[in-house]
Structure 1
Amino acid sequence: MPAAVSPRKIIIDTDPGQDDAVAILLALASPELEVLAITAVAGNVPLDLTTLNARKVCELAGRADLPVHPGCAGPLARPLVTAEHVHGKTGLDGADLPEPDMPLQDTHAVDAIIAHVRAEAPGTVTLCALGPLTNIAMALKKAPDIAERLAHIVLMGGAYFEVGNITPAAEFNIYVDPEAAQVVFGAGVPLTVLPLDVTHKALITPDRHHAFAALNSSVGQAVAGWLGFYERFDREKYGSDGGPLHDPCVIAWLLAPDLFTGREINVEIETSSALTRGMTVADWWGVTDRTPNALFIGDLDASGFFDLLTSRLESLV
């Protein structure tokens, strides 16, 4: 018999956010993944709410044992920009969850990331970044040795053809802290990027939304409620048949990379221009001689993605 494959060890760095919450649930429903910790960062909503929301989602999934660490309350060099206009004032509008009983850890997220990466064998920890990259950049700056120890960083952020969703040139996660993104993209860690080009193809159509509600579980009802609120913004903005489900694409890529296609390209982050701050300058066509530093995903099998997501969430009660 072939030897059993050990679960991939991951840390989820996040700013929940309804789509972040669904990504966390997908990870916790997947035996191929071992979530070492959740580290919260300010982004979609301020830090006090992202830490609260992360714990609510853990308890919804029956994982009150999972450590949740508070991270950076603002970007490296700029005032915080948030997205209550998308996610609501709580960040998880659309479904009311009880106040969590599980504690918030005392250890700062940056120190937790460093400690976990150093404690595990080299090349075994993957960072899953669902929000602004402030915590991860701070960890790389504080402990440069972890760059060689990390297996991978997989992040939702940026765009090429789709360009921007918070400005004409920039995607929200990168825009909030472009200096942090510049650190991460330049760290030399194997990097996979799930940009708007692919996440805008993961649309929450009415049938897919109904499939979550039909799970007939507390998780299914929460997800259906969250997404019913969350997608209204993008439906109105883009006139599409549903809102895009961004952050679960990060976890789905780890679970089923064959659902996705992309290219190894060079990606640079614009930090100085007022007009294009936070732009991911993606050399999709190879027109420069800059060395590729990221696998930039451009397409996905949306039906396969939603089948995977729905089937995994069904395992949670």
Structure 2
Amino acid sequence: MTHQALIIDCDPGVDDAVALMLAFGSRDLDLLAVTTVGGNVPLVKTTRNARMLRQIAGREDVPVHAGAERPLRRKPAGAGAFHGEEGLGSLEPFAPAKGVADGHGVDAIIAAVMARAPGTVALAVLGPMTNLALALRREPMIAKRLGPVAVMGGARSEGGNITPSAEFNIWADPEAADEVMRSGCALTLFGLDATHQVRATDARIAAIAAVGTPQAETAAAMMRFSQAVERRIVGPDAAPVHDVCPVAWLMQPALFELKPCRIAVETVSELTRGHTAVEFREASAGSLPHRWAARADAEAVFALIATSVG
């Protein structure tokens, strides 16, 4: 059986943590590396958190490379209110046994893509797109050599979660997102329109916790923290688990409905900074080079998580 080679670029983050547990336990993925970026919390914490999660999952074979500390042009922005001061909710920080791999995350992405046949290395971007934008600047050839690039980012009909029209990952580094959108990469975006359908209800959290492994207990703890935050800040709905969506799609594409589109990112106006203009009309767009996730099979996504963390 052929396994999808994958790099995960992330900023853990409670929902990043669930996505990493999904990927670490997957039998369908050949996880080449985890690269980190400053986003939900600063880089030093996202890198430590990725190493913590790797250790909990027993996947010390996967290198963790530290990437970009700050956005291309903006001041760093955080989302500690949603992820906790340390980024992993109520999970007590500890010093992981295995350190950070040699080499910058941007260089790790380029090296992995260039070392393998074109189209064979997928990239899941679960935080701001800074690392990918820098990699494309340094080695433009990776735009055509990358396999599918699955991005958690963007908002359309659901509106934004950091401003009325922008989703946090795009808003945090809109210039990076703009450069990536224009790069020619095979991009599929999982914005709030899809991720808001993948919500961690009490029953779904309980089903994952019942698996009983350290990975399952950690994933469930992340979702419980998100649930409490969602109910305190947003309202009574169950919390969405955004970042699992790109990884779940790479494992089982049939779980999502995608629509061809063209996506542009607002970088000028502060009022609509990071807004994603998603155009489905080819007559207006000229061509439709991107894909937008419109629907998700939430039950199947959570079943996939439960299987992978077992």
Q: Say yes or no: TM over 0.5.
A: yes
Corresponding residue for residue 192 of structure 1: 188
**Residue 239 of structure 2, aligned match among 234, 238, 243:** 243
Instruction: Give the 3-state SS of the residue equivalent to 1:82 in structure 2.
Output: coil
1:299 equivalenced with 2:295 (yes/no): yes
Task: For residue 168 of structure 1, give the secondary structure of its aligned residue in structure 2.
Answer: coil
1:221-242 deviation per Cα after TM superposition (whole angstroms, max 9, x unaligned): 2222222112222233442431
Instruction: Find out whether 1:54 has 2:11 as its counterpart.
Output: no
1:273–1:290 Cα change, 3 Å:
farther
3-state SS of paired residue (1:28): helix
Per the alignment, in what secondary structure is the counterpart of residue 227 of structure 2?
helix
Q: Secondary structure of the equivalent of 2:285? A: coil
Match of 2:128 among 118, 132, 140: 132
What do residues 95-134 of structure 1 show as CA deviations (whole Å, max 9, x unaligned)? Answer: 2354201111220011111111111111111111000000
| Cα distance in structure 2, aligned partners of 1:116 and 1:235 | 41
Q: Which stretch shifts more, 222-231 or 56-65? A: 222-231
1:78 aligns with 2:68: no
Unaligned regions of 5+ residues in structure 1, if any?
Answer: none
State the Cα RMSD in Å: 1.3
Task: Report the Cα distance in structure 2 between the residues aligned to 1:216 and 1:199, rounded to whole angstroms.
Answer: 26
Percent identity, aligned pairs only, is 44
C-alpha displacement of 1:292: 1.1
Q: What is the alpha-carbon distance in structure 2 between the residues aligned to residue 254 and residue 57 of structure 1? A: 20
Which of 247, 254, 261 does residue 257 from structure 2 map onto? 261
Q: Secondary structure at the match of 2:286?
A: coil
Query: Could you tell me which residue of structure 2 aligns to residue 159 of structure 1?
Result: 155
Give the Cα separation in 1 of the matches to 2:302 and 2:261.
27
CA distance, structure 1, for counterparts of residue 87 and residue 38 of structure 2 = 11
Match of 2:85 among 80, 84, 89: 89
Which ranges of structure 2 fall in alignment gaps of 5 or more residues? none
Give the C-alpha shift of residue 286 in structure 1. 5.0
Task: Report if the CA contact (8 A) 1:185-1:293 is conserved.
Answer: no
Alignment match, 1:211: 207
Within the alignment, does 1:39 sit opposite 2:35 as a pair? yes
Aligned counterpart, 2:60: 64
> 1:94 touches 1:229 (CA, 8 Å); kept in 2?
yes
> Aligned partners of 1:32, 1:221: CA distance in 2, in Å?
22
Question: Is residue 2:309 matched to residue 1:313?
Answer: yes
Quote the Cα distance in structure 2 between the aligned partners of 1:95 and 1:211: 20
For 1:207 and 1:26, how far apart are their aligned partners in 2? Answer: 18
Identify the residue that residue 229 of structure 2 maps to in structure 1. 233
| Residues 1:143 and 2:134 are matched in the alignment | no
CA contact (8 A) 2:213 2:309 kept: no
The separation in 2 between residues aligned to 1:194 and 1:236, in whole angstroms, is 25
TM-score after normalising by structure 2: 0.97
What is the CA distance between 1:6 and its match in structure 2?
1.5
Give the TM-score normalised by the residue count of structure 1.
0.95
Contact 2:256 2:293 in 1 (8 A): yes
Runs of 4+ in structure 1 deviating by more than 3 angstroms, as ranges, are 284-287
Q: Distance in 1 between matches of 2:286 and 2:23?
A: 34
Determine whether 1:100 maps to 2:92.
no
2:108 aligned residue: 112
Q: Is the 1:94–1:227 Cα contact (8 Å) retained in structure 2?
A: no
Task: Give 1:194 deviation, angstroms.
Answer: 0.5
Partner SS for 2:103: coil
